A and B are shown apart, each in its own frame.
Chain A
Amino acid sequence: AQSVAQPEDQVNVAEGNPLTVKCTYSVSGNPYLFWYVQYPNRGLQFLLKYITGDNLVKGSYGFEAEFNKSQTSFHLKKPSALVSDSALYFCAVRDITKAAGNKLTFGGGTRVLVKP
């Protein structure tokens, strides 16, 4: 079975400081990995994904994520956080070796609070 863990329920950071949101995953084969962001009372918005190739993936709004196969991690990063980055962030994984229609598994979410 595939799974995703986001070990921090909340991350607090000062505006202008680097932001990191942690994600580790477990799949039997190779993963597709995703980050989504959710603003209050809204649906999720896609930030970025890892399929294959370069371990550093760049996405929307200045976010990037680094795929580390040996540590089974896919941490989300932003060099300089903005107050407007305050939101709920979800990591998700799909095992690419599974049959078509395999479900996407989401982590429990990490709330990011950026203080001015």
Chain B
Amino acid sequence: DGGITQSPKYLFRKEGQNVTLSCEQNLNHDAMYWYRQDPGQGLRLIYYSQIVNDFQKGDIAEGYSVSREKKESFPLTVTSAQKNPTAFYLCASSEGTGSGANVLTFGAGSRLTVL
């Protein structure tokens, strides 16, 4: 079945450590996205990529980094510079370049807790 796989599902990190969240899709979608979800705040866009080897900052990119070396993969690194990294992280993808009425397909999410 086609879909998006995020790993790990749960991750614990000590302060000062970088962590990388994996996102892989087999939908042949061009665009991929990372969102952060906090209780009562909806989803906020961290980074997005419309094509391989290219990506743009979203609304809350500070303290995060991404790469898009392959069409199928869009890993997110949460760096030690991120002041409040404890959150639920969602990866998504869509056909095309992100314009128009493209529907987002989401992964199951990764819950990061900083100890």
- On A, residues with C-beta under 8 Å from B are 9, 32, 34, 36, 41-46, 49, 51, 90, 94, 96, 98-104, 106-109
Give the Cβ gap from B58 to chain A, nearest Cβ, in Å: 7
A101–B106 contact, CB under 8 A?
Answer: no
A109–B40 contact, CB under 8 A?
Answer: yes
**18 more A-B contacts (CB under 8 A) besides A44-B90, A101-B97?**
A9-B40, A36-B106, A42-B108, A43-B4, A43-B6, A96-B100, A98-B99, A100-B98, A100-B99, A101-B48, A101-B99, A103-B45, A103-B48, A103-B59, A106-B42, A106-B44, A107-B42, A109-B40
B58–A103 contact, CB under 8 A?
Answer: yes
Give the Cβ gap from B30 to chain A, nearest Cβ, in Å: 11
Residues of A within 8 A of B58 (CB): 103
Tell me the bound Cα distance from A98 to B103 in angstroms. 17
A104–B104 contact, CB under 8 A?
Answer: yes
Q: B101-115 interface mask toward A, CB cutoff 8 Å, 1 = contact, 0 = none? A: 101111111010000
B106–A45 contact, CB under 8 A?
Answer: yes
Give the Cβ gap from B95 to chain A, nearest Cβ, in Å: 13
Give the Cβ gap from B102 to chain A, nearest Cβ, in Å: 9
Tell me the bound Cα distance from A108 to B97 in angstroms. 25
A42–B48 contact, CB under 8 A?
Answer: no
